[in-house]
Structure 1
Amino acid sequence: MKKLLLFSFLFCTILSAQNKVDLSYYLPQDVTYNNNIPTPESVIGHQVGHWHVTHDKLVQYMYALAESSDRVTIENRGKTFEDRPILLLTITSPTNHQNIDAIREAHIAATNTKTTNNSNRPIVVYQGFSIHGNEPSGANAGLLAAYHLAAAESNDVKELLDNTVILFDPSFNPDGLQRFAYWANTNKSINLSSDPSDREYSEVWPGGRTNHYWFDMNRDWLPVQLPESRARITSFHKWLPNILTDHHEMGSNATFFFQPGIPSRTHPLTPKLNQEITRAIGDYHAKALNKIGSLYYTEESYDDFYYGKGSTFPDINGSIGILFEQASSRGHVQETENGLLTFPFTIRNQFTAALSTLEAAKNMREEILNYQQNFYENARNEGAKEKGKAIVFGDSKDAARTYHLAEILNRHKIKFHEIKQDFTANGKRFKKGYSYIVPKNQKNTRLINAMFEKRTTFQDSLFYDISAWTFPLAFNLDYAEGVSINNLGNEVTNLQQKEGKVTAMSSYAYLMEWHEYYSPKVLNKLLNKDIRAKVALKRFGMNGKDYDYGTILIPVQNQKLKDKDLHAFLTKLAKESHVQIDAVNTGLTSGIDLGSRNFKTVYKPKIALLVGDGISSYDAGEMWHLFDTRYNITITKLDTKSINYAGLSRYNTIIVANTSSLSKNNSEKLKTWTRNGGTIIAYRNAVRWLNSNEFAKLDFKKMKRTAKDISFEQRGDYNGAQVIGGAIFEAKIDRSHPINFGYKNDKIALFRNTTIFMNPSKDSYNNPIQYTKDPILSGYISKPNLDSISNTVPLQIKKLGRGKVVAFTDNTNFRAFWYGTNKLLMNAIFFREEL
């Protein structure tokens, strides 16, 4: 009993002590600080670690530092979706600040030409914190790091600032950080509970990890689809930092990780010297963490393969990317396998690693500057070997998808040109105005290779993230490599979208082809305006033009708008959405006439997207973002808690993004709604839910795997190798089926990261999309899985009463940059009556 009382006393003492840490707990003991520089506590109102800093207070402190220190300048690079500022501090010596433009120009110049003397140039370090909002120790450590760099008066810090330009990003993810800080702070007790079951350590859906639209911000460095990413990528290419650090958190029972990761899982395009330098920098982290007694590990768990992550993207751009992972307290203090884990402790480790990075940068400055210079010299030599070659990409029917891929290249400072004239390559026709050509002989040729390569052989069969991201396949564009630069037209220096137009005014009808990416946006606005529209189920021709499946017909007669007003409205929509709408003056065609029954009325979609407990926030967020930012389609985010009492009759389409199960009551209500005429669209694991709840009878291929000659130690790797973490596969499509309207080719590239394999229907016309016999285009898949996926189908459409069930095995809207399959969802929504 006495021992129990003693433990309770010590336990309470530890919890009380957590609230009483001061700056001396964090900061180096042998450094004095300038009293004229405000401490974090003096501005934000509490000691670092006592509360989770909210983003508004973080911003307040960073501006206070910039106002008080001649070592710090600050810029606002834009806004998040929730209108929070995206800040960047530049921290260096006052002398360097006076010459900052010249320093940057010299730094960039060294990557463009070979020079021999790097002894006098500062090294550039980009330090970024908490790209996942509920991994807050990084951003909170940023308060301390910024204060230390602005106020420390030691000779070591002054020497560091003389020789280093620090690009300091205090919060990679402002919206997520704010969301999580609110959660942790509002659930904090005066008497802290360390029980992992306490509400403080279990966020409500969707959690604070993601940004406003529930995206994992650490997967967008290469696609650059989100405002926070675009700001930091602009800064990255403006400076080309030598080192970039990315401060994260992991499970509470872990310790502290720093890179390099697992050696066999480094992307082959990353130079070996990159990992050697990363390992040498790691020695500085080890020494610093040894000093404060913190446990750590390296070369395990994490990898450097997918270039869309913050710690890997720098590696293909001549920089050294470094990931830090700190065991997370997920609140203020939590019981773990390693004892009580306090929030201040997690902050101190991150702060320590931030300083050890700078120590390594200072001491390894010339070596790392030389590495970057040689990286680009070698890249130029590689490019010179292909100076007569280029990559061409485009879609002769869709300028918008072509534009959006070019937009990514533009953000990454990759040069590209118009094509001089129409030409054919790799059996594809490339049309001027709808295609761009990328010469290989340029500075960022290695980045070009990383974005366009198709890779199907790998050193390792395990991946921390996706194994393929081939951009022209993601955009479903025609492309060809190794084409002659004789096809180069003018370099594109002012990228613009195709100008939309209505060809003339008509008193009869207008036609809009469905190929263009933004055609669903136009159709939705027409239907919202109560303008009648029909869709062509067959092809036809008129006025010397062939119109494909899915062409939209807008009759002029019996509309709510008069002729002139309708023309004006269509003109506005065409310009806004970059599409062409053709005026026609007759109903006679070479094919189905415009009054044919093969033109079917399109009805206004009324969409609910299931969100909340049981639904993947990533998948749901990607769809929300698609509807909201690309197509301007209003949807209802229907929480799973509300299904049972919601009036579902107001919707004609309900989307279940990805779920393993819903309650029996919810499932029955959704099934009744579908049977009464609704269209339910389900993705990924939700297709199994459809099957088990008898929405549709789906025939899944059963997998047979036997681990032979596998030791107990190897079991994890064996099972991991059977995962499809993210690869790209080829499927053949029936273009006459409404689900495929708008696609001009009979093959499509599909992203897949599940092992859900559906057998095809016995009726061939019920298999509008089917994987080919040997479908792998890019990425890793095990031999058993490759055998299993052959000739299966990623889509099944079934009837249930008067309703429709649309089942996709995989996400067609992956991470906002899989433009090539977005239209499959739009077709399921707008043409649901015809499926």
Structure 2
Amino acid sequence: MRNFSFLFFIIFSITIQAQEYTVDLDYYLPNDVSYNPTIPTPKSVLGHEVGEWHVTHDKLVHYMTTLAESSDRITLENRGSTFEGRPLLLLTITAPKNHSNLEQIRQEHVGLTEGNSASTQNMPVVVYQGFSIHGNEPSGANAGLVAAYYLAAAQGSKIDALLNNTVILFDPSFNPDGLQRFAYWANIHKAKNINPDPNDREYDEIWPGGRTNHYWFDMNRDWLPVQLPESRARIETFHNWYPNILTDHHEMGTNASFFFQPGIPSRTHPLTPKKNQELTGDIAKFHARAFDKIGSFYYTEESFDDFYYGKGSTFPDINGSIGILFEQASSRGHAQESDNGILTFPFTIRNQFTAALSTLEAASSMREELLNYQKDFFNNAQKEAANGGAIVFGDEKDANKVAYLAEILNRHKIKFHELKEDYTSNGKTYKKGYSYVIPKNQKQHRLINAMFEKRTSFQDSLFYDISAWTFPMAFNMDYDETASVGKLGTEVINFEKRGVALPSTSNYAYLMEWHDYLTPKALNAILSKGIRAKVGMKQFSIAGKDYDYGTILIPVQNQSMDATQLSEVIKEIAAEANVLITAVSTGLTKGIDLGSNQFRALEAPKVAMLVGEGVTSYDAGEIWHLFDQRYDMQLTKLDTRNFSRTDLSRYTDLILPNSYALGKDDAKKIKTWVENGGTLIAYKNTGRWLNSTKLLEMEFKTRKDTARAISFEQRGDYRGAQVIGGAIFNTKLDRSHPIAFGYKNEMLPVFRNSTLFLEADPDSYNNPIQYTDAPLLSGYISKPNLKDLAGTSAFKEKGLGNGNIIYFTDNHNFRAFWYGTNKLLMNAIFFGSEM
């Protein structure tokens, strides 16, 4: 009876505590200032107190708009839209006197990055505060409600000094689509009597969750590649201002406390100046004092790192700023049990708000030191850049891919030039119009180094994210560093993609080489309009021009339209995809003639992809984005919940991203579909399932490591060192194989972040993508793993009945910026039946 009474007391206490989670605004706000009663509180606009419900993005926008209309300290701009059409707001918050002179302040501030010797004595410091780039880490965006109110309404000498000394670029939601998705989930499961039981559905959102944006991308990995609209808006703001501090508010596991940087010292990128980490440590002292004052626990320097420059807290570090990561233990709803007691949503919000204010206090107190650091950063970069040199990059067969890389450089304010004439270096030809040159003697010298460097030696063997991202390798681009800048042409000022010459009208045929990045878009448009097309399995020459493996042939005869109509459609498609299509007047060639059986008929693909629980949402989202945004191709998303009831006969191709979702019955269903003519395309861990079900038998290398002289304390680092977090490796291509059509070089850099090592097939022609004997190009891999990887295969294919199964060991669509390997998937779809 005593045990039962004690248990009842515990349960009753938990319930009471949970019900008392609602707080008023005073819970968050400092009491050392007064507040302007004419400034609307969040509750007066939203209809609920901060933390009572999860704010939806539409309500967040409404409050920020109302606040801007009510305060002369705030201006508001809409910098664009998300994929779902939500506004990307930015509030600029500072003293009214600064607002009246804001453009001059901005120009003087940016002048510090351009060698301006102006005094920083009276110059405001600039702070970019951004919230909840992961939508299901909502305490940041909800804390933004309180922070914006405080900055608009607080009164007194303390806030006046802060606003006079500071320009705050306030981004209330880095990820509007994800925030909206998660707020909906948390709010529809909120009960009148909050239940903090972690098993409640409120704390376990369904796939894909609210972490990501519309296409399921982790946007905190896109600061350097800038492939997403949300990223492009914030990067434009960043380079328009070059803030001195940028904060990035996140959440982590429920049983944690609060983390602020510095991270683990040995995991800072070597290109980041030591002074950057010293300043980060000085700023951390302000956070510590603020958290001590409210009694909240925290830690620093024990986890996370500053290595990958594509993260929000690290990107500023290579741009003369201080990036700061905040990680708050997550309630993942309204209140949840944790090792530290019941963690309430308001408590998480208060911690984030506290960190936001301590950042501003640090910025104001360290104003001159931060401004001078920024000035010194760029002055030192210019001294390094004075050594000169240049990087030339290009692809003589693929203008669109070159333009995509140039577009990224342009967004980062990196200067580049047209080639004034063709240039040859180390056996590579850089063709005018298909290549650019980056002079290294420029302001963004250090950022250029960060984007183009190859690194294979490291101080530490553990990484929070990827260890390599060399951009020309990601694009499979020819590139060289050269001391000479003699081939520089004119600087590209207003960058635009160059258009292609449209084909003349032919009464015989049209040819389209398969090299250009956007040829899949053009081919899909051709086939979707019912136009017959074929693919050339061998090389040939016609009218003095060489055509490579994979050239697309469009005959004029026996089409559903006459020659004139076909010509107009072909011109329209060529213009839309910006690819070169050539009219020819004869079928006689040097090599296979156009009437040869080595031209194989193609059919319009009807593609489906497995999504849902058990499927890696990142991988699936990258494929969806590739189809929808790059190639204008329809892709049917089949949910794992309904897969057993789905009629697969509607589809020519089925894609299985990295997945743990399928069983034996699914294997039988897929086998029948493949035998009837379907093409199955699978990635990464799905290969183990294919092997276990004997759909595609393969041999993966296995190795059992034995830890020697490794202590209990060291075991985590020992295991972590065997992880391939993300590095770049070299593969050798068989360019005559359909999977390699469109690639002009024999070698192809690929991204890899797994230890799935597939034994090569005994027959060499079955290894069209094979890791070289010394495959590491850039990034970290342990010596045992590197030894195991050498010579393995990256691809496996098997015919089954009238169809076939295609397997890739690696994700070739990584984060939307691995342009160089996207075509492998397109080859599997369009040419799978020819393998």
Normalised to the residue count of structure 1, the TM-score between the two structures is 0.99
CA displacement 1:713-757 (0-9 Å, x = unmatched): 111101100000000000110100000000001000000001000
Question: Which letter maps to 1:187?
Answer: H
1:335 matched residue in structure 2: 337
- The corresponding residue for 2:64 is 62
Residue identity matched to 1:745? N
2:121 paired residue number: 119
Would you say 1:42 and 2:44 are equivalent positions?
yes
Structure 2: unaligned runs, 5 residues or longer: none
Tell me the amino acid that sits aligned with residue 126 of structure 1: Y
After superposition, give the CA deviation of every residue in 1:325-384 in whole Å (9 maximum; x if it has no partner): 000000000000111000000000000000000000010000110100000000000000
Equivalence for 1:460: 460
Q: 2:800: which partner in 1?
A: 800
CA distance in 1, matches of 2:8, 2:541: 89
Do the aligned residues in 2 keep the contact of 1:501 with 1:571 (CA within 8 Å)? Answer: no
Q: After superposing the two structures, state which structure 1 stretch, 121-130 or 798-807, moved more.
A: 798-807
Match of 1:85 in 2: 87
Q: Is the 8 A contact 2:803 2:833 kept in 1?
A: no
Worse overlay, 660-669 or 168-177? 660-669
1:227 aligned partner: 229
Q: Counterparts in 2 of 1:350-499, with a 5 A limit?
A: 350-385=352-387, 387=388, 389-499=389-499
The match for 2:516 is 516
Whole-Å separation in 2 of the counterparts to 1:671 and 1:182: 39
The alpha carbon displacement at 1:426 in A equals 2.4
Q: How far apart, CA to CA, are the structure 1 residues paired with 2:762 and 2:6?
A: 72
What are the equivalent positions in structure 2 for 1:603-614 lying under 5 Å apart? 603-614=603-614
Contact 2:667/2:695 (CA < 8 Å) preserved in 1? no
- Displacement after TM superposition at 1:510 (Å): 0.3
SS across alignment from 1:429: strand
2:200 aligns with one of 190, 198, 201: 198
SS at match of 2:582: strand
Residue identity in the other structure for 2:336: Q
Question: Cα distance, 1:472 vs. partner?
Answer: 0.1
What is aligned with 1:266? 268
> Conserved in 2, the CA contact under 8 Å of 1:184 and 1:200?
yes
Structure 1 gap ranges (5+): none
Aligned to 1:600: 600
- Which residue of structure 2 aligns with residue 706 of structure 1? 706
C-alpha offsets along residues 132-184 of structure 1, whole Å, 9 cap, x if unaligned? 00000000000000000000002111110000000000000000000000000
Residues in 2 aligned to 1:464 and 1:287: alpha-carbon distance in whole angstroms: 27
Q: What amino acid is the match of 1:706? A: T
**Cα shift at 1:767:** 0.7
SS in 1 for 2:774: strand
Q: CA deviation at 1:116?
A: 5.9
Superposition map of 1:523-672 within 5 A? 523-672=523-672
Contact kept, 8 Å, 1:500 with 1:577, in 2: the verdict is: no
Q: What is the CA–CA distance in structure 2 between the aligned matches of 1:571 and 1:662, rounded to whole Å?
A: 44
Match of 1:286 among 285, 288, 293: 288
Cα distance between partner residues in 1 of 2:711 and 2:624: 45
For residue 18 of structure 1, give the secondary structure of its aligned residue in structure 2. Answer: coil
Q: Distance in 2 between matches of 1:790 and 1:98?
A: 63
In the alignment, which residue of structure 1 is the partner of 2:819?
Answer: 819
202, 213, 216: which one pairs with 1:214?
216
Once the two structures are superposed, residues 473-522 of structure 1 have per-residue CA deviations (whole angstroms, 9 ceiling, x without a partner) of 00000000124111100111122223133331100000000001100001
Amino acid at match of 2:255: N
SS, match of residue 323 in structure 1:
strand
Aligned to 2:15: 12
Distance 2:664 2:761 in 1: 28
Deviations 1:427-475 (A, max 9, x none): 2110000000000000000000000000000000000000000000000
Instruction: Write the deviation string for residues 784-804 of structure 1: whole angstroms up to 9, x where unpaired.
Output: 000000010111111223221
Say whether the 8 Å CA contact 2:730–2:772 is kept in structure 1.
Answer: yes
1:751-799 Cα shifts (integer Å, max 9, x gaps) = 0001000111111111101111001000000000000000101111112
* Alpha-carbon separation, structure 2, partners of 1:502 and 1:283: 63
Instruction: Please report how far the alpha carbon of residue 699 of structure 1 lies from its aligned counterpart in structure 2 after TM superposition.
Output: 1.4
SS at match of 1:311: coil
Letter in 2 for 1:626: L
Distance 2:517 2:14 in 1: 60
**Residue 5 of structure 1: how far off its partner (Å):** 4.2
* 1:130 paired residue number: 132
Instruction: State yes or no: 1:302 paired with 2:329.
Output: no
Aligned AA (1:35): P
CA contact (8 A) 2:252 2:327 kept: yes
CA positional deviation for 1:111: 1.6
Query: What CA distance in whole angstroms lies between the structure 1 residues aligned with 2:371 and 2:500?
Result: 47
Distance 1:668 1:250 in 2: 40
Given that 2:394 and 2:478 are in contact with CA atoms closer than 8 Å, whether structure 1 keeps it comes out as yes
For 1:687, the equivalent position in structure 2 comes to 687
Q: Which amino acid aligns with 2:284?
A: G
2:570 is matched by which residue type in structure 1? L
Change (3 A) 1:27 1:594: same
Structure 1 residue 114, shift from structure 2 partner:
4.5
Match among 159, 176, 181 for residue 178 of structure 2: 176
Equivalent residues in 2 for 1:702-781, closer than 5 Å = 702-781=702-781
Is residue 266–residue 304 contact of structure 1 (8 Å, CA) maintained in 2?
A: yes
Greater mean alpha carbon deviation, residues 434-443 or residues 677-686: 677-686
Deviation of the 1:678 alpha carbon: 1.1
**Most deviating of 127-136 and 488-497:** 488-497
Measure, in 1, the Cα distance between the counterparts of 2:772 and 2:158.
Answer: 63
* Counterpart code for 1:600: R
Question: Does residue 1:344 correspond to 2:346, yes or no?
Answer: yes
TM-score, scaled relative to structure 2: 0.99
For 1:37 and 1:550, the matched residues in 2 are separated by 65
Q: Which amino acid aligns with 2:184?
A: Y
Deviation at 1:9, TM superposition (A): 3.8
The 8 Å contact of residues 660 and 688 in structure 1, kept in 2 or not, is answered as no
3-state SS of paired residue (2:581): strand
CA contact (8 A) 2:613 2:661 kept: no
CA distance in 2, matches of 1:802, 1:170: 54
Are 1:425 and 1:483, in contact at CA under 8 Å, matched by a contact in 2?
Answer: no
Distance 1:182 1:73 in 2: 29
1:125 shift after superposition: 0.1
Give the counterpart of 2:27 among 3, 25, 28: 25
Equivalent residue letter for 1:154: G
1:676, CA displacement in angstroms? Answer: 2.3
Q: Is the 8 A contact 1:392 1:483 kept in 2?
A: no
Distance in 2, Cα, partners of 1:3 & 1:692: 51
Alpha-carbon offset, residue 555 of structure 1 = 0.2
